[in-house]
Copies of this chain bind each other. A is one copy, B any other.
Amino acid sequence: MTTPSKAATIADVAARAGVSVPTVSRVLTGAARVTPEKRERVEQAIVELSFRPSAAARVLASRKAQVIAVIAGDTSRYGYAETIRGIEEGARAEGYTVMITVVESPDEDEIDRAIAATLSQPLAGVAVLKFDPPGVAALQRVPDDLPLVVLSGVRDTSLPQAVLDETRAAEELTDYLLGLGHATVHHVRIPPSRKEDGRTTGWRRALRRAGAPIPEPLDATWEPKSGQALGAVLAADEGVTAVFCGNDEIAMGVISGLTRAGRRVPEDVSVVGFDDHPLAEMWTPPLTTVDQDFAGMGRRGFELLLAEIRGEPGKQFSSERPRLIVRESAGRVGGA
């Protein structure tokens, strides 16, 4: 019937339902009791006018936002995507909406602009994926009057933080390789978030404890292709019998490079990854790796954030230990 040229406001609804504006607000928020009959009329008016309350006005008046901002350096890599998914699931269950801000640029100014744009939004809280340098840079720019949670692989701040203890996992994985008889384990690392990632630290620690030589790590980018190039490099070195890669995608690249250079995996060289990517078990050979419950970390991170938002004391920290997944890409030295 009616064809409203402008979107309906709460006043329109009130007029149509024959009640006052606050009464409409009451049925909207459910904050106070309203006579069933009036409630009925209001609800009908809302439908008839296809009224959608303005979040801007609500936030302004109530000083309560319903949006969680997630700041990440990337969104497409497996670990990032899963972590975000976990946060999003937790948030959705509690009625929060997630806004994602990507800060991939190394340009400081651009980071500043992206963060500023995000922070000017009415936000209930912020979650920062501290997986890489952009994440670290972003973290420094979050004002401390905002509920915040950090998600990462190492406990390294005094802020509320959810971690997946990659240092311990890397140590375990390296120990496993050493236990297979390898004299040492080479390491291809992914771009570190800080001076050194937990993955690299754990590897180094295991080697040192075992008294094994510590080879210089090779640096990959996030692209599987860079792993392939490094695989070719590793293939040229006869002394390489075991390689620990920073993540599964790089491991796949390394295996590809190694194989194309004529080295067999795992007969000649053992290769392990990290994360348990969905394709890891599909690979030839199936990848020995470490299962990381990124989505779980995301959910736990959101819980921490929620506690803060609500001002509940709650715990400030949540850590979980990934577990080793033994498949076929690593074996005994000499291919036994």
Chain A residues packing against B (C-beta within 8 Å): 7, 50, 52-60, 65-67, 75-76, 78, 81-82, 84-85, 88, 92, 95, 97-102, 114, 116-122, 143, 145, 223-225, 227-228, 249, 252-253, 256, 259, 278-279, 281-284
Contacts and interface: CB of A to CB of B under 8 A. Distances in A.
Given A99-B98, A225-B282, A52 B256 contact: no
Nearest to A277: B279
Given A67-B121, A100-B98, A52 B116 contact: yes
A65 B114 CA distance: 16
B278 A249 contact: yes
Contacts of A100: 88, 98-100
Nearest to A81: B76
A145 to B, nearest CB: 6
A66 B117 contact: yes
B50 A121 contact: no
B122 A56 contact: yes
A88 B114 CA distance: 11
B102 A99 contact: no
7 contacts: A56-B121, A75-B88, A76-B81, A92-B102, A98-B99, A256-B284, A284-B284
Number of copies: 2
Nearest to A102: B88
Given A50-B143, A98-B100, A282-B228, A60 B56 contact: yes
A282 B95 CA distance: 41
A85 B98 CA distance: 16
Contacts of A278: 223-225, 249
Contacts of A95: 117
A120 B284 contact: no
Nearest to A96: B117
B52 A119 contact: yes
Given A55-B121, A55-B122, A116-B52, A84 B75 contact: yes
Contacts of A58: 120
A256 B228 contact: no
B259 A52 contact: no
Nearest to A97: B117
A247 B62 CA distance: 47
